[in-house]
Amino acid sequence: MARVQQVPQTKKDAPKVQNQNAKSKENLAKTNPKREPSKNEILFFRIGISLIALTLVTTAIIFTIRYFMDRNEEAGVYDDYTHVTVRELGYFMRYYPETNSYGDFSEFDGYSEYADLKALIDGQDKLYFYFYRSSNINEDITAALQNVQDLSDKPVLFINMDNPQNDELFTNAWLAHLNLDQSRQSMFLIYDIYADEPFDLWVLTSHIIIEINKL
């Protein structure tokens, strides 16, 4: 029986395999180079970024406009008129037994923040005070006030009973003689400065409107 002579493999074949693998990778790199984006792709990318930026800017503008619109809607119907607080009201209404008189208007002298108020009340025989709640506006009284010609120039002062600055409106000792009614949503006080009985308080809407129409 003839023997088949086997030729042993030598280690010289290994470098050939490694060389072939290196050449294959080199050829693969040459055939698949890193692709740069085309001009159209760059253009579409830029357009996409621009659209996103434009959307964000538009959204910001819309929210800004809505914010200021909401603020305007929340503005009080009487905000343009002269208001006083409990403190100023006390200067008008406080009773001085030593002189048997009410009010001390000199409290407003020398203060720039009271300049408009002084201009409104100086030389007047009667002052009018409208008490209202900003949370519950009386539309009928509002309409009557809006019908008064040049209302801003008349000695009509407004007191918002919902203003935290007026929390002591119904407990302030200087105002006790006015008999203000805390349960009312609207009140109209007429202060006849030189009369023996200087204060008339109206609480019914119909009566308030009648007095407003006399202004």
| pLDDT tens-digit readout, 148-179 | 999 999 999 999 999 999 999 999 999 999 99
Percentage above 70 pLDDT, the chain: 76
Indicate the residue type of 24. Answer: S
pLDDT digits (tens, 9 = 90+) for 14-67: 555 555 555 555 555 555 556 676 777 777 777 878 778 878 877 777 766 664
206: confidence class by pLDDT, cuts 50, 70, 90: very high
pLDDT digits (tens, 9 = 90+) for 76-111: 899 999 999 999 999 999 999 888 889 888 888 888
Distance CA 102, CA 91 (A): 9
Prediction pTM value: 0.65
* pLDDT for res 52: 83
- Better-predicted residue by pLDDT, 192 or 15: 192
* pLDDT for res 109: 87
Q: Which of 79, 215, 207 is nearest to 150 (CA)?
A: 215
* H-only helix segments in the chain: 13-31, 39-74, 86-93, 115-121, 139-146, 205-212
* pLDDT for res 71: 44
